[in-house]
């Protein structure tokens, strides 16, 4: 949007907003001026004016009652913004980095540092810019949405009030409304309603804030779209189409990389079965806005659709991509034979590690930032737990033995350190080729195949992380023969199925994590091999014996053996 058009919109909206404030205040028998000007030398008013697509015009009004002075305010780094003085003038200004003013990095913002002189003792400056994805709602999933403001930042010591103005089809929930700074602040409910939410009377020490407000959308016919691309389908609302296409393009760009890595492919879209991978955006509940990047439901022994939190489209390029890849990798792991029900730590660790590595290889800046953050998390993890991470083995979809952030960090730590030892993603590519479609359901079998891919036992390394895994790799020839023998048995053959089950049961005992003497483990595995290898012969003898026994009984019943 050009500056002239933006300025015109700003003037119109300012006029309309002042009319709205006057009317709103008069309904409460209050002086409307009190909504804007408080009894302080320097005051700020933030207005977030939301449109029906969830975008917002952000207007910041800075007012000072002094002859001259200086201050600073956060402004967008990557998008246009305008400023103009209503009273007085700015005679010197610079654009600085937030770290100098707020002791923290704010990637999307710069600091407008200005010095001013007043006109008859008053100075007033207005800053305005557009902000997309301010109010997020995905009607395909829920009619509940969340407004989350851009970063509010200004010189400490100024008073602040902030108003969120919703369009008619959005209805704010005042019980889900917070200003988030060093503390949490609720709105002034006497001056707020479902379309106008006002925050005021916050301490002057609060100068770095976000505003979060939950709302419901009342729209009988949201504009829904379905996008098909390759083996992928995206189901969302029209306003998020650019972000949906961004993910679909990423999926198609990385599909061959993922198929080579996991030695598996995903099923093409084929109605009416519709077994392709479907992706959806979602908005989490009010208290989980940024704690959930995405998820894939697992129920009934099947993986569900991919869900990606739309708020991460607001982040540095790479965050949304890593989340989307992470969730897609769960589908590849499932196709490759790794069950999240039994090996969730491996699922999450590989998904986290591979998504970051692939996104980083595509030069996404956000991927590097995520990697740096998680490595800092690893340092914190080690300071608390050392390498005692055996609790990962107890992590299932229904049981989290530790805080989820600890579990994700620990899983990434184990997977990334094995990769560093044996060749990065190429190591896991060898692992999945060695696995070759077999289903792995426990850490013992997992360790065996990880060792096969490394050409040496990794049991010691995993046990150094707190796992209790027997070193099955020393029985590699025996286990390999057992697997080949099992491959020759058709488990769908009703006559051979009992012997396939028996061989598998004996094998599971042999590879269990229980403390079994080396000689005993060898004999158990040998018994499993012999059962599998001679299963057809044993089946023939068993069923022949049964038939023979039945014939003898029938003949005896007919008196053939009577003298």
Query: Residues near 493 by Cβ (< 8 Å), separated by ≥ 6?
Result: none
Pairing outcome for strands 159-165 and 42-50: parallel
Confidence at 28, pLDDT banded by 50, 70, 90: very low
Per the prediction, the chain carries an average pLDDT of: 86
DSSP 182: S
Confidence at 246, pLDDT banded by 50, 70, 90: very high
Q: 487 vs 71, which has greater pLDDT? A: 71
pLDDT, residue 226, reads 95
Confidence at 561, pLDDT banded by 50, 70, 90: low
Least confident among 125-134, 282-291, 341-350, 507-516: 507-516
Q: What is the arithmetic mean of pLDDT over 472-489?
A: 73
Q: What percent of the chain has pLDDT over 70?
A: 88
Does residue 492 register a pLDDT over 90? no
Long-range contact set of residues 190-194: C-beta below 8 Å, sequence gap at least 24? 190/28, 191/24, 191/25, 191/28, 191/30, 191/35, 193/24, 194/166
Q: What percent of the chain has pLDDT over 90?
A: 66
Nearest partner of 151 among 210, 207, 102, judged by Cα: 210
Tokens coding 141: 């999933």
Does residue 34 register a pLDDT over 70? no
Does residue 429 register a pLDDT over 80? yes
Does residue 363 register a pLDDT over 80? yes
Q: What is the arithmetic mean of pLDDT over 348-369?
A: 96
Domains in the chain, ordered, with CATH? 3-217 (no CATH), 224-469 (1.10.390.10), 482-563 (no CATH)
What is the dihedral sign for C-alpha 393, 396, 402, 406? positive
pLDDT, residue 142, reads 93
| pLDDT one-digit tens code per residue, 279-338 | 999 999 999 999 999 999 987 678 899 999 999 999 999 999 999 999 999 999 999 989
Nearest partner of 72 among 37, 106, 48, judged by Cα: 106
pLDDT, residue 25, reads 35
Does residue 14 register a pLDDT over 50? no
Q: 498 vs 30, which has greater pLDDT? A: 498
Tokens coding 34: 């009190």
What is the pTM assigned to this prediction? 0.82
Does residue 6 register a pLDDT over 70? no
Confidence at 222, pLDDT banded by 50, 70, 90: confident
* Cα 50 from chain centroid (whole Å): 26
pLDDT, residue 102, reads 92
Nearest partner of 156 among 71, 221, 213, judged by Cα: 71
pLDDT, residue 511, reads 65
pLDDT, residue 350, reads 98
Backbone angles phi, psi at 212, to 5 degrees: -130, 125
Per-position b or e across 496-531, b if 16+ CB within 10 A of its CB: beebbebbbebbebbbeeeebeeeebeebbbbbbeb
* Cα 157 from chain centroid (whole Å): 37
């Amino acid at each position: 949007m050009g500056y002239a058009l933006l300025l015109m919109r700003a003037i119109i909206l300012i006029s309309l907003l002042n009319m709205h404030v006057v009317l709103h205040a008069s309904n409460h028998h209050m002086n409307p001026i009190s909504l804007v000007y408080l009894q302080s030398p320097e005051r700020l008013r933030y207005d977030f004016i939301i449109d029906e697509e969830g975008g917002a015009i952000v207007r910041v009004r800075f007012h000072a009652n002094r002859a001259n002075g200086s201050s600073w305010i956060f402004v967008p780094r990557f998008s246009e913004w305008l400023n103009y003085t209503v009273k007085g003038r700015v005679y010197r200004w610079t654009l600085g980095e937030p770290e100098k003013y707020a002791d923290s990095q704010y990637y999307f913002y710069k600091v407008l540092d200005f010095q001013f002189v007043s006109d008859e003792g008053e100075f007033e400056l207005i800053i305005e810019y557009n902000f997309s994805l301010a109010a997020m709602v995905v009607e395909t999933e829920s009619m509940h949405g969340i407004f989350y403001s851009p970063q509010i930042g200004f010189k400490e010591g100024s008073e602040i009030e902030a108003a969120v103005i919703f369009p008619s089809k959005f209805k704010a929930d005042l019980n889900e409304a917070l200003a988030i700074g060093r503390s949490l602040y609720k709105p002034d409910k006497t001056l707020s309603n479902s379309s106008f939410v006002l925050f005021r009377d916050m301490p002057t020490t609060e100068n770095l804030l976000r505003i979060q407000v939950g709302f419901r959308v009342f729209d009988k016919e949201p504009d829904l779209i379905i996008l098909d691309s390759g083996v992928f389908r995206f189901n969302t609302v029209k306003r998020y189409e650019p972000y949906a296409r961004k993910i679909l393009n990423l999926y198609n760009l990385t599909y061959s990389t993922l198929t080579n890595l996991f030695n598996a492919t995903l099923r093409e879209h084929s109605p009416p079965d519709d077994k392709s991978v479907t992706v959806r955006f979602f908005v989490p509940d009010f208290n989980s806005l940024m704690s959930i990047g995405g998820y894939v439901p697992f129920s009934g022994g099947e993986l569900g659709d991919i869900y990606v939190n739309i708020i991460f489209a607001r982040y540095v390029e790479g965050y949304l991509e890593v989340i989307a890849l992470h969730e897609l990798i769960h589908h590849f792991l499932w196709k490759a034979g790794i069950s999240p029900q039994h090996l969730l730590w491996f699922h999450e660790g590989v998904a986290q590690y591979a998504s970051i590595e692939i996104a980083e290889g595509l030069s996404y800046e956000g991927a590097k930032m995520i990697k740096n953050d998680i490595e800092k998390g690893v340092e914190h993890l080690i300071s608390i737990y050392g390498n005692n991470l055996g609790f990962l083995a107890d992590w299932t979809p229904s049981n989290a033995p530790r805080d989820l952030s600890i579990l994700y960090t620990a899983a990434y730590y184990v997977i990334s350190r094995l990769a560093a030892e044996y060749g990065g993603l190429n190591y896991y590519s060898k692992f999945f080729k060695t696995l070759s479609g077999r289903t792995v359901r426990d850490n013992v079998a997992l360790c065996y195949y990880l060792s096969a891919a490394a050409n040496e036992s990794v049991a010691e390394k995993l046990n150094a992380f707190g796992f209790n895994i027997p070193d099955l790799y020393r029985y590699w020839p025996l286990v390999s023969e057992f697997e080949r023998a099992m491959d020759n048995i058709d488990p769908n053959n009703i006559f051979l199925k009992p012997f396939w089950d028996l061989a598998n049961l004996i094998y599971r005992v042999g590879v269990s994590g229980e403390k079994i003497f080396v000689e005993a483990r060898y004999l158990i595995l040998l018994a499993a091999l012999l059962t599998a290898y001679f299963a057809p012969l044993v089946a023939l003898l068993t069923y022949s014996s049964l038939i023979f026994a039945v014939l003898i009984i029938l003949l005896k019943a007919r008196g053939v053996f009577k003298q």
